[in-house]
Amino acid sequence: MLLPTIPLLKIKKLNGIKIINVRIIDIKVMDKEGRMDKIENNYKVGQKLKIEIEKIVFGGEGLGHIDGFTIFVPMSVPGDILEIEIISVKKSYARGLITKIIKPGKDRIEDSSKVSFEDFDGCDFGMLKYDKQLEYKNQMLKEVLEKIGSINLENVNIENIIGSEIETNYRNKTSEPLFKKDGKILTGFYSRKSHNVFSAKESLLKSKIAEEMINKFLEEINSYAGTKNEFKVYNEITDSGFLKHVIVRNNEKNEVMLIIVVSKKSQYKQLVKVLEKLYNENEFIKSVYISVKTEANNVILGEDTKHIFGDEYLKEEMEGIKFNIYPDSFFQINKSQAIKLYDKAIEFLGESRNNTVIDAFSGTGTIAMALSSKVRKAIGIESVESSVNAARETAVENKIDNVEFINGKVEKVLPELLKNEKAEAIIFDPPRRGIDEKALKSVVKNKIKKIVYISCNPATFARDTKFLIENGYKLEKVSTVDMFPQTNHVEVVALIQKE
CB atoms within 10 A of CB 102: 12
- pLDDT given for residue 198 in this prediction: 64
Model pTM? 0.85
The amino acid occupying position 466 is: K
pLDDT in tens, 177-236: 999 988 999 998 766 655 677 666 778 899 999 999 999 999 999 999 999 999 999 998
* Mean confidence (pLDDT) of the chain: 90
CA 275/CA 269 separation, integer angstroms: 10
Helix and strand tally (H, E) in the chain? Answer: 9, 26
Give the model's pLDDT for residue 38.
Answer: 59
Q: Out of 437, 456, 469, 497, pick the active-site residue.
A: 456
User: Given this model, what pLDDT does residue 429 score?
Assistant: 97
pLDDT band at 42 (very low <50, low <70, confident <90, very high): confident
DSSP codes of every residue in 110-179: S-TT--STTTTTT-TTTTB-HHHHHHHHHHHHHHHHHHTS---GGGSEEPPPB--S--SS-BSEEEEEEE
Alpha-carbon distance 73 to 98, whole Å? Answer: 7
pLDDT at residue 37 is higher than 80: no
Mind listing the pLDDT tens digit for each residue in 139-170? 999 999 999 999 999 999 999 999 999 999 99
Q: 174 pLDDT band (50/70/90 cuts)?
A: very high
* Burial of residue 89, with CB atoms counted within 10 A of its CB: 0-12 exposed, 13-18 middle, 19 or more buried: middle
Q: Is 123 a catalytic residue?
A: no
Span 451-470, average pLDDT: 97
How confident is residue 376, by pLDDT bands cut at 50, 70 and 90?
Answer: very high
| 305 strand-pairing partners | 291
Q: Over 90: is that where the pLDDT of 438 sits?
A: yes
